[in-house]
Amino acid sequence: MFFLALCAEVARAATGPIGLDGSLIAWQWCKHSYAGEDAYRDSFLGGLQTRGATAIVYPLQDSRDGWNLWLGGNVVLGMYMLGTPSPVDGHRTDDWVKRCNSVGVTTQIPVLFNVQDSFAGEFGLHEDYLRWFANSINWAPAGQFIVCLGLYIDRNQQISSAWTPDYLNQMAGKLKQYTGGRFKIAIHAAAPQCLTWGAGSNIDIIYTDPSATVTVQASPAAGGTVAGGGTYLVGTQRQISAQANNGWVFTGWNDGVANNPRTIVVGAGAATYTANFAPATTLTLQANPANGGNMIGGGLRPVGVPITIIAQPTMGWRFLNWSDGNTNRFRTITLGAAGGNLTANFMVAPMSILLQAGDGGMGGRWTLGADYLPATWTQITGAMGDGWVLRAINQNRILLQQGVGGAINIWELTNGVPSKMWNVSAAIPAWIARDFDGNRVLLQAGDGGMVGIWTLSVSNTPAAWSAIADPTTGLIARALRDNRILVQFNTSTTIGFWTLNSANRVTAWTPINAALPAGWILRSMTPDYMLLQAGDGGMAGIWDLDATGQPMAWHELTQALPGWIIRSMDHALPATLTVVGSTNIGGSVTGGGMLYVGANATITATASNGWVFARWNDGVINNPRMVVVPAGGATYTALFSKIVTISALASPTNAGYAGGSGSYASDTLAQLSATASNGWAFTQWNDGNTNAVRSVPVPMTNITYTANFAPTAVIGTSVNTNVGGRVTGSGTFIIGSSQVLTAVASNGWIFTSWSDGSTNNPRTVIVTTGGATYTANFTPTAMLALQASPANAGNVSGGGLRAVGFAASIGTRPTMGWRFLNWSDGDTNRVRSIVLGAAGTNLTANFAAAPTAVLLQAGNGGMAGIWTLGTNYLPATWSPVTGALGGGWVLRAINQHRVLLQQGTGGMIGLWELNSSGAPTNWWLVSGVLPGWIARDLDGNRVLLQAGDGGMVGCWTLGTNNTPATWNALAATLSPGLIARALCGNKVLVQAGTIGSYWTLDGSNNVSAVTAISAVLPAGWILRSMTPDYMLLQAGDGGMAGIWDLDANGNPIDWHTITGPLSGWILRGMNQP
């Protein structure tokens, strides 16, 4: 395989790689070393490799008379010659070829490199040298080589003065002459200016290395100066820099790099680097206290550009906040022209290191000093045995586990020793409790196993589980703090941390950028530090961490500790202990402030004059008292009480005694009591409270409580017979008060009345001066048995045990489709009174079947029919009465198988007699035309008439020929809109809007009384008709309809819907024969 020279650019030949067989060769000279040569050579060769070179010539200079050999596969390339050749030089080619053959190399390519300018005059066009070189390559087949002549470039990128285009052309001509023109000649021009020379007649190709222009500028120009710009070889490294003028600061380069000066690698093509400057102002940063931490980022800083400032706490301190309230230790601010002044506040927060003398061994805690070295030692426990391991420490609590997979506990420490223990979990085979943070425990199923987090309940038992990662070979979860899990692969140097979201799910992986020596173990971490140990028993140290969790500085903690394992690290968290008084004037308190979790603090309350300390808000009365600062801090309120006078008085003063007067502490309770004198009774305190003995809260000011008393009188009770019953409610009571008396009858007796005639039982009486006595009268009872015949025809009421010799009210109510006839003793009143004898009595209410008929008409002049209602009040049968009548004829009413008709308002009036099928069989003309008058209803031989709505109302009594015999005017003038709706017995039903009433008629058909119906009609409803037991209603013409059951007084009892809306139909009347 043959190779050719590869260079970056071609001047007079095709660009790109050139090879006789398509392969590539790259070559470079090597001369005496000078600054930057190695970097240039390496970048040049590296760049060629990335561009596809398959072999690289790298002839190394041994000495002036040395020779070089580079083997690559089965190819040897290289021949290096310096200085004037001597006769012995001729055998070097032979030696070189022989050596190639001895190692199995089949292709040898000698290449002539440039001769340094120091030998240019000596060498010149020395024909012996050129002949020697030509002879050394004449063995090769024709056309297989390009002979390369190089140009020397000095360290300032200048071409040697000894080389000129004519000189190179002459050399190329001689080589072609001595080789018989069998080879092509190429020049590697290492400087760009060579391209302007032209190749010359004897030179076939010129190659050159690429270069690019680097521009460095300032923005704004007044902000500063820059250096480092120029034209350089591509791939070389150059340094650029920026220098701010007075009153300005450098803020960074345009590509985001902040380093100054900085080193760049020259890339292909022109590049511009802009140094940004900004007006400067002063940022003053200080720590409070001064030894609490170090400040980073102060001094002369740019105006209007975000800058980062850092508060780095000293070991043993914790950052609290900045003087402007910001709590971020690493933060970004933007300054104005006036600059700024910020103070970082720190608090004491000792760092604890948990150690154990091997699994099951004793355990203790170091507290570190500001120099990161152990300052104090506290023994936590002696040898534990049974494989117990102290896994972690967090906020004065220690996580323990009985070996791998064993039970897990938590200790709470008081003054550094365990004071309380919780069992977190029974044994969980193979699982290791790695760390805990607050209420979270980090667990792993052995090295490389699954990782998860328990969230603990208030009882420190697992409440929730979050799976973090599936098994991964070699992965060990080392520590948990806030939203980070520290991870290490075995004990290798591969370390980093997972970032968790609020649901304990991994959202990111961040490698730690610091190198970890082999065998070192990450033991623990806090937000500011990371603890490491060189294996169990090894030396240990701490890394300071930046805001992203990356190490910044290393501090050796201890040399090797044979047998001891550093388990964990706990940096006490700050917490605010707030101590306040319940009132500003009641006293003062001390002991609060910003402390650290687990610290002991003494709090004190001192009362002012006229006040006393009562207790703390948690009920503790110790003062002073010692408290332990909890995580999250706490507030303690000292409750102060003012000395207050309570006066207890009686009113009237002779009516009784009020106790409880005295001096009390406010915010306590005082006991009051009221005791009445003879003839008096306690009524209430002046604040309305009615308890004679009571506890009252003591207020902040003096207060008076007055017990009010009232005179009393005796309420006496008696009975008319001791065997008849008894009375409750007697006693001594306040005059004017209301008291309830109750008469309780004995078996076989009934209460009838009180001695003052009242029959109410129980009854309320008013206590009067001098009192009173009430006698309850009792009477023997007898049985009043009532029944209906037939049993399903109706209901009876009023039966049972009733008083002998007293009137008892009884009644009956027929079922729909039945009519009451009479009682078994012949009485025909539905509701009646009866006086019982000692033997009692038995009465039967007799009923007869009487189907209820409802008359309907399809509007004035329309067809008509009759519904017969069932016991459920719904239509059971339909009987047509007539077809369409026309002529405006209106069926006004139905009564006892007769229908009242009228030919519209004021028209003639007639009667139909209906047969058993409901069809008309006889007709009587009752009256001719009666202008303005309306026939309203028919009841027996009486016709109810009205002179239009709101007009005069009267009643005709018909003769045997059904013509009017007598006229009775019932009302001459009426309220506007009042309508006489129906006539039944001695009652006329009238309606005015939603109000219905009855007129009661005497024997001469004159109105003797007006009684309002107890129910109000819905708007738009019309009273259509009534019988002694029912009332028919319709929601306007064509509307739905229903029936009210009536009591003995004609008032509605129950409602029954008989139909929904009946478009066009009007319910005209109701009849129960």
Q: Per mean pLDDT, which range of 76-80, 325-329, 456-460, 806-810 is the poorest? A: 76-80
Confidence (pLDDT) at 128: 57
What value does the mean pLDDT take over residues 63-70? 30
- Long-range contacts of 790-796, Cβ-Cβ distance < 8 Å, separation of 24 or more: 790/847, 793/818, 793/847, 793/848, 793/849, 794/818, 794/820, 794/845, 794/847, 796/845
1073 versus 263: the higher-pLDDT residue is: 263
Query: Six-digit token pair at 598?
Result: 């687990």
With cut-offs at 50, 70 and 90, classify the pLDDT of residue 614: confident
With cut-offs at 50, 70 and 90, classify the pLDDT of residue 179: confident
pLDDT at residue 177 is higher than 60 = yes
**What is the share, in percent, of the chain residues with pLDDT greater than 70?**
81
- For 360-393, b/e burial (b = at least 16 CB within 10 A) is bbbbbbbbbeeebeeeeeeebbeebeeebbbbbb
320 versus 788: the higher-pLDDT residue is: 788
Per-residue pLDDT tens over the stretch 356-370? 999 999 999 999 999
Nearest-angstrom CA–CA distance, 426 and 835: 88
What value does the mean pLDDT take over residues 936-956? 94
How many other C-beta atoms are found inside a 10 Å radius of the C-beta of residue 247? 12
- Classify domain 360-526 by CATH number: 2.40.128.630
Confidence (pLDDT) at 204: 67
Confidence (pLDDT) at 349: 85
What value does the mean pLDDT take over residues 101-111? 41
With cut-offs at 50, 70 and 90, classify the pLDDT of residue 107: very low
1000 versus 627: the higher-pLDDT residue is: 1000
Unique residue bearing structure tokens 């002949």: 131
Distance of alpha carbon 177 from its chain centroid, rounded? Answer: 92
Specify whether the CB–CB gap between 802 and 836 falls below 8 A.
Answer: yes
Confidence (pLDDT) at 1005: 83
For all residues of the chain together, what is the average pLDDT?
Answer: 83
What value does the mean pLDDT take over residues 181-188? 64
Residue 92 in 3-state DSSP?
helix
Confidence (pLDDT) at 124: 43
With cut-offs at 50, 70 and 90, classify the pLDDT of residue 112: very low
pLDDT at residue 262 is higher than 60 = yes
- Percent helix, strand and coil across the chain, each to the nearest 5: 5, 50, 40
Per-residue pLDDT tens over the stretch 632-652? 789 999 988 889 999 999 999
Confidence (pLDDT) at 84: 33
293-296 vs 451-456, strand pairing mode: unpaired
Confidence (pLDDT) at 71: 26
**Architecture of the domain defined by 5-209:** Alpha-Beta Barrel (3.20)
Confidence (pLDDT) at 151: 46
- For 862-879, b/e burial (b = at least 16 CB within 10 A) is bbbbbbebeeebeeeeee
All residues at 6 or more sequence positions from 714 whose CB lies less than 8 Å from its CB, including other chains: 730, 731, 732, 733, 771
String of DSSP letters for 373-433: SEEEEEEEES---TTEEEEEEETTEEEEEESTT--EEEEEEETTEEEEEEEEES--TT-EE
Is domain 853-1071 classified as CATH 2.40.160? no
What value does the mean pLDDT take over residues 116-123? 36
Distances (CA, A) of 714 to 445, 739, 841, 989: 87, 11, 43, 54
- Burial class, 280, CB count within 10 angstroms (exposed 0-12 / middle 13-18 / buried 19+): buried
Per-residue pLDDT tens over the stretch 470-501? 999 889 999 999 899 999 987 667 899 999 99
Confidence (pLDDT) at 53: 36
What value does the mean pLDDT take over residues 139-157? 47
With cut-offs at 50, 70 and 90, classify the pLDDT of residue 631: confident
**What is the share, in percent, of the chain residues with pLDDT greater than 90?**
63
What value does the mean pLDDT take over residues 536-565? 92
pLDDT at residue 461 is higher than 70 = yes
Specify whether the CB–CB gap between 204 and 188 falls below 8 A.
Answer: no
Confidence (pLDDT) at 574: 73
Per-residue pLDDT tens over the stretch 793-823? 999 999 999 999 988 999 999 999 999 999 9
String of DSSP letters for 23-45: --EEE----S--TTHHHHHHHHH
With cut-offs at 50, 70 and 90, classify the pLDDT of residue 12: very low
Per-residue pLDDT tens over the stretch 289-321? 999 999 999 999 999 999 999 999 999 888 889
Q: Which of 455, 514, 446 is nearest to 480 (CA)?
A: 455
Specify whether the CB–CB gap between 367 and 378 falls below 8 A.
Answer: yes
Unique residue bearing structure tokens 């799910």: 505
